[in-house]
Amino acid sequence: MSYIDVIKEKARMDKKTIVLPETTDKRTLIAASNIMKERIADIIMIGDEEKIMDGATWLEIELDGVKIINPKTCEKLDDYANILYEVRKNKGMTPEKAKEILLTDPLTFGVIMVKANEADGMVAGACHATADTLRPALQILKTAPGVKLVSGFFLMCVPDCEFGHDGTFLFADCGLNQDPTAEELAAIAESSARSFKSLVGAKPVIAMLSHSTRGSAKHALVDKVVEATRIAHEQYPHLTLDGELQLDAALVPSVAKSKAPGSDVAGKANVLIFPNLDSGNIGYKLVQRLAKAEAYGPMLQGIAKPVNDLSRGCSWQDIVGVVALTAVQAQLA
């Protein structure tokens, strides 16, 4: 059974309700149909029911059991607007503006439903930028208690791969923080360890990646990763973590013996912490496209309730996978 099949089975065991607000995107409609068929989650879609059903007919799919909410006719619109007003009134929000936003922005409407406990999580991003998904989540749901930084990760499932946890890895941060400081990198590592443990069920073995291994190169970029590793060891001593490590030293046992002898991580890593967003984003896409890996995300970690992003290049199958993962996150919340 593949990793994502295991996640789907977990989702079925305690079915959650997930909002899919991007109902003008055909991938979202196809994903919703398959999610219902596979009984992975209950689905709420935001938009005009007639248009959504017309889209389903054109795609020759069924949306049986999907709950469709049109903000314009929603009986709870005033209640939702009041929630948005209360959360954002110190930032200049008015009741009138709150209602206008909910009538025009389905992503904010979806997040408000999660805030109101009408849904357990939301998945969006197939046709919106990450900022459009993240902004209302941070404004309305806020960060989880004790979290220093919200970050993004991908769960990567590489076929016929001898590395990682049976070919499964967590890559972070690949979708959110552009140039994290050393302290932020350490915080990303700690959040990623928790995400890997909860979603994969295996011990996280964390490599702080660089173009250098143990001082083989001298540069300010290397210094940042060295400092991040020091901070992580100091603040999160329970983590199995090492750095700075080049990618081959992190993954390949024979290379690890040469470049990082004695490391508890080198040659065994399954959680890869990239030094910046450029390297993380390029890295996950290389593995996805060239190694034919399944890439689920960017998942968001550190928000009070599960809200997850999608790559705008995602397939409908990717959406199904992220919904399953979001449902499992909701089970653990």
The H or E element spanning position 77 is helix 77-88
Which residues have C-beta within 8 Å of that of residue 110, sequence separation ≥ 6? 19, 20, 21, 44, 46, 119, 122, 124
Give the pLDDT means over successive 10-residue stretches in the chain (333 positions). Answer: 88 96 94 96 95 94 94 95 93 92 96 96 90 89 85 92 94 91 96 92 95 87 94 95 94 94 94 96 94 88 91 90 94 84
In order, the DSSP letters of 212-258 are -STTSS--HHHHHHHHHHHHHHHH-TTSEEEEEE-HHHHH-HHHHHH
Q: How many CB atoms lie within 10 A of CB 130?
A: 18
pLDDT for the residue numbered 134: 86
Among 1, 12, 61, 2, residue whose Cα is nearest residue 324: 12
CB 189 within 8 A of CB 210: no
How is residue 304 written in tokens?
């009070």
Structure tokens at 236: 């999160």
For the beta carbon of residue 319, count every other beta carbon within 10 angstroms: 27
Q: Look up residue 77 and give its two tokens.
A: 């619109």
The pLDDT value given to residue 332: 86
DSSP run (H or E) holding 57: helix 49-59
